[in-house]
Structure 1
Amino acid sequence: MPADSIQPDAQQKQEYEQYVKSVTPTHNLWTQMGKAFLTGGIICCIGQGILNYTGNVLGMDPQTSGSWCSLLLVFLSVVLTAFHIYPKIAKWGGAGALVPITGFANSVTAPAVEYQKEGQVFGIGCKIFTIAGPVILYGIFSSWGLGLILWVLQMFGIRVG
């Protein structure tokens, strides 16, 4: 009997649809947006606190304060990822935890932690940029392309910015 002649009957289709419906997770858009807003807001408040502390208490200039803020947020994200806490935050907060700089640090750290048992070269070295690599690649390519466009426009005497 050819494989294409076997057709599921109506009852099998209905049972399959019920099964798919039972295992498919349901999400409330407004709840997800609220969680993302709250998570991203907390991360930003922590960053603002670091910025205020380094600027007002330690007396750093705004550029140095911003550098320390970024550095400390990345460090905090790496530590939380190493202790398997950041993935739980990201699962709960969604894009609110993945969009800021902390999410990028997590995307580099997570593969390094996961594949460290495979060794320095074939584990960490090969896998560390599996998530962040495309972001870096397209970021560099986009900046190169936009720089080329700006250069061509300036050759024709068009001033931008």
Structure 2
Amino acid sequence: MLSKTQYLELDKRIAPKSKEGQTLWIAFLVGGAICMIGQGISDVFSLILPNADEKVIGQITSTVMIFLGALLTGIGVYDRIGKYAGGGSIIPITGFANSVVSPAMEYRSEGVVFGVMCKMFVIAGPIIVSGVTAAIGVGLIYWFIGVL
């Protein structure tokens, strides 16, 4: 039987060395590329709809990016991007679409209600709750400061 220190030493020798610097750069570049695509979509819609408000263009761009993330997840491309890019593919809004569509696809064999609908927000649900809670907290602080 191995002691804890022997096990840790064995683990250190056997475990593959991670290339943290390379991984960070790849995540940075892929995340930046996703954001550049989003900016390009925004610019195209600004040309198509020259009189549209900036907020409307942002909403359209977000919708298109979420759709593209869901589509790429559905056809299996986004998972390959995620394996290569890591956090660079999770942080943009397309990562949110991936976090909703992936569990829905995985559990569709369990039916629409107990599979897709129950499992769809397993990953994204806690993030949504945290975001809403933080927004309410910041809103209350802002309101309280405004009252003073």
Q: TM-score range by the shorter chain?
A: 0.7 to 0.9
Q: Pick closer, same or farther for the CA change 1:25–1:82 going to 2, 3 Å.
A: farther
Whether 1:38 and 2:29 are equivalent positions in the alignment is yes
Residue 54 of structure 1 contacts residue 60 of structure 1 at CA under 8 Å; is this kept in 2? no
Q: What is the identity percentage for the equivalent residue pairs of Structure 1 and Structure 2?
A: 40
Aligned to 1:159: none
Alpha-carbon offset, residue 152 of structure 1: 2.2
2:66 to 56, 65, 74: 74
The amino acid across from 2:126 in the alignment is P
Q: Pick closer, same or farther for the CA change 1:48–1:60 going to 2, 3 Å.
A: farther
The amino acid across from 2:72 in the alignment is L
Q: Which has the higher contact order (CA 8 A, sep 6+)?
A: 2
User: Unpaired segments of 5 or more residues in structure 2?
Assistant: none
1:53 to 26, 44, 50: 44
* Corresponding residue SS for 1:69: helix
Question: TM-score by structure 2 length?
Answer: 0.87
Deviates more, 1:59-68 or 1:129-138: 59-68
1:26 to 17, 22, 30: 17
Cα RMSD for the two superposed structures: 2.0
Deviates more, 1:49-58 or 1:115-124: 49-58
Give CA deviations for 1:64-119 in whole Å, capped at 9, x if unaligned: 22222111111010011111211110111111111010111111111001111110
User: Unpaired segments of 5 or more residues in structure 1?
Assistant: 1-6, 157-161
Residue 78 of structure 1 contacts residue 106 of structure 1 at CA under 8 Å; is this kept in 2? yes
Whether 1:91 and 2:107 are equivalent positions in the alignment is no
Alpha-carbon offset, residue 58 of structure 1: 4.3
Q: Give me the whole-angstrom Cα distance separating, in 1, the residues matched to 2:98 and 2:33.
A: 17
Question: TM-score by structure 1 length?
Answer: 0.80
Q: Pick closer, same or farther for the CA change 1:42–1:153 going to 2, 3 Å.
A: same
Q: Pick closer, same or farther for the CA change 1:64–1:120 going to 2, 3 Å.
A: same
Larger radius of gyration: 1
